[in-house]
Amino acid sequence: MSKAFTKESDGDDEDEQGGLPPIPAGTKNYLTPKGYHALRAELLQLIDEERPKIVEIVHWAASNGDRSENGDYIYGKKRLREIDRRIRFLTKRLDIAEVADPSLHHGSDQIFFGATVTYATSQGVERTITIMGIDEVDHLAGEVSWISPIARALLKSREGDEVTLRTPGGLEVLEVIEVRYPAPAAPEAR
């Protein structure tokens, strides 16, 4: 087969998602309002500020002559591909975004997206997690994605319920101790 018809990857198409798990087929990309605004702000910053700056550097470097040994040109082109890949990724994720405001469930004891849940393991160890969108999770802050096994086990249960979590070590029973949601934002005065 002619090389003209084969695709050789230079690694640019790999990891288009930036290490994030794929969204289950046929579902929306659930985000909190804060998460949606953060992704949108990153996209606009890349489009309006970072990309034009790199394009200018690449243009300047290209005008300096021999591009094959021009570090500014080579690095600039590589950085431009990275930025374009991130812009494509953010655009795709925002296109399928479904903003779900967890404060709508404030006062409820049932677990939905955005809930902060305290649960106890069968060994009596208490843990607190917050169920968030895939693109906004901060594991160090105790946040888990809504598609994670723990979130899927807890969703739709209520305070006092026991749920079963399938782990590599076998089944584990968890008891839901407390469910909290953020308070609704105060209406803005006009």
Query: Residue 184: pLDDT above 50?
Result: yes
Q: How far is C-alpha 108 from the geometric centre of its chain's CA atoms?
A: 26
For 138-147, give one letter per residue: b (16+ CB within 10 A) or e: eeeeebbbbb
Ordered structural domains, the chain, with CATH: 28-99 (1.10.287.180), 102-180 (3.10.50.30)
Element (H, E) at 175: strand 170-180
Q: Which of 137, 131, 141 is nearest to 180 (CA)?
A: 131
Reported as a single tens digit per residue, the pLDDT across 116-159 is 999 999 899 999 999 999 999 999 999 999 999 999 999 999 99
Judge contact between 116 and 129, C-beta under 8 A.
yes
Q: What's the average model confidence in pLDDT over 86-112?
A: 93
Task: Compute the radius of gyration of the chain from its Cα atoms.
Answer: 23
Query: Residue 12: pLDDT above 60?
Result: no
Judge contact between 168 and 110, C-beta under 8 A.
no
Q: In terms of pLDDT, which residue wins out, 185 or 111?
A: 111
* Average pLDDT score, the chain: 86
Q: What percent of the chain has pLDDT over 90?
A: 65
